[in-house]
Amino acid sequence: DADVTQTPRNRITKTGKRIMLECSQTKGHDRMYWYRQDPGLGLRLIYYSFDVKDINKGEISDGYSVSRQAQAKFSLSLESAIPNQTALYFCATSDPGSDEQYFGPGTRLTVT
Amino acid sequence: GQNIDQPTEMTATEGAIVQINCTYQTSGFNGLFWYQQHAGEAPTFLSYNVLDGLEEKGRFSSFLSRSKGYSYLLLKELQMKDSASYLCVSGGYNKLIFGAGTRLAVHP
């Protein structure tokens, strides 16, 4: 079984809809991250969490919110989706003391 | 500011050697990662350099010069499956800063 899983893997939604992307991990890592990837751009950090009670904004948090339900679960929400949020979204995890991150398989989101 | 530069695209022939260069200017720098990413898939870890010098791991080697803000990834004995994007990534302050990636196409 994969260490970091994301659901759904693909989603098409309409402008204005609320959508939640979910991430679960079995690696036992405290730290979790959400990124988006757009063609021609590097992965950009949306939000990150260093433990269940810690939530931090990343580089591009506007229009997004997150919830850390447990050590193993970190959800990303788009309150009112817009077309420029069409992207590939990745969840990642890491251990304290290490910068190496482990990525989930990604969620391809299309907002029409 | 945070800046990572790497070529957008490269092509190479199966069996050959290719070097992908990266320059970076990032704050709180701890070390330099290289990740491989096949189209539509998750990035996967290739290498991590903290100290200056060359790290070799099988067909892949990575070099770092902290004073020059420079790294390269060297891929030897190229195989068709090496066609992918290679991401130069700066690590520090418990966060990663990603370059846009170099798309490598390996031809027979």
The 3-state secondary structure of chain B reads CCEEECCCEEEEECCCCEEEEEEEECCCCCEEEEEEECCCCCCEEEEEECCCEEEEECCEEEEEECCCCEEEEEECCCCHHHCEEEEEEEEECCEEEECCCEEEEEEC
Q: Is A89 a residue whose pLDDT tops 70?
A: yes
Q: Is A1 a residue whose pLDDT tops 70?
A: no
Looking at the complex, report in whole angstroms how far the Cα of residue B99 sits from the nearest Cα belonging to chain A: 5
Q: Compare all CA atoms of chain B with the CA of A40 and give the residue at the minimum distance.
A: B100
What's the average model confidence in pLDDT over A102-110? Answer: 96
pLDDT at residue B76 in the model: 97
What's the average model confidence in pLDDT over A78-97? Answer: 94
Q: Per-residue confidence of chain B (108 residues) as pLDDT tens digits?
A: 678 999 999 999 999 999 999 999 988 888 999 999 999 899 999 999 999 999 999 999 999 999 999 999 999 999 999 999 999 999 887 788 999 999 999 999
The verdict on A8 touching B (C-beta cutoff 8 Å) is no
DSSP result, A46-60: EEEEEETTEEEE-TT
Q: Which of A45, A106, A108 sits opposite B95 (nearest CB)?
A: A45
Q: CA-CA distance, B39 to A37, in Å (whole number)?
A: 12
pLDDT at residue B1 in the model: 67
The band of A32, judged by pLDDT with boundaries at 50, 70 and 90, is very high
User: Strands B84-92 and B70-75: what pairing?
Assistant: unpaired
> Are A108 and A88 spatial neighbours (Cβ–Cβ below 8 Å)?
yes
pLDDT tens by residue, B74-91: 999 999 999 999 999 998
Q: Compare all CA atoms of chain B with the CA of A87 and give the residue at the minimum distance.
A: B40
In B, which residues are within 8 Å of A35 by CB distance? 98
Q: Please say whether the dihedral angle defined by the alpha carbons of residues B95, A46, B87 and A30, taken in this order, is positive or negative.
A: positive
Q: Which of B31, B40, B42 sits opposite A99 (nearest CB)?
A: B31
Q: Which of A45, A88, A99 sits opposite B91 (nearest CB)?
A: A99
The band of A88, judged by pLDDT with boundaries at 50, 70 and 90, is very high
Residue A14 tokens read as 């309409």
The verdict on A5 touching B (C-beta cutoff 8 Å) is no
Taking an 8 Å cut-off on Cβ atoms, the answer to whether A100 and B45 are in contact is: yes
pLDDT tens by residue, A36-47: 999 888 899 999
Residue percentage of chain A with pLDDT more than 90: 88
Residue A49 tokens read as 């969490």
Q: Compare all CA atoms of chain B with the CA of A97 and give the residue at the minimum distance.
A: B94
pLDDT at residue B95 in the model: 83
pLDDT at residue A25 in the model: 97
Residue percentage of chain A with pLDDT more than 70: 98
Q: Compare all CA atoms of chain A with the CA of B38 and give the residue at the minimum distance.
A: A105
Q: Which of B86, B96, B102, B103 to mutate against chain A (most A CBs within 10 Å)?
A: B96
Q: CA-CA distance, A34 to A49, in Å (whole number)?
A: 9
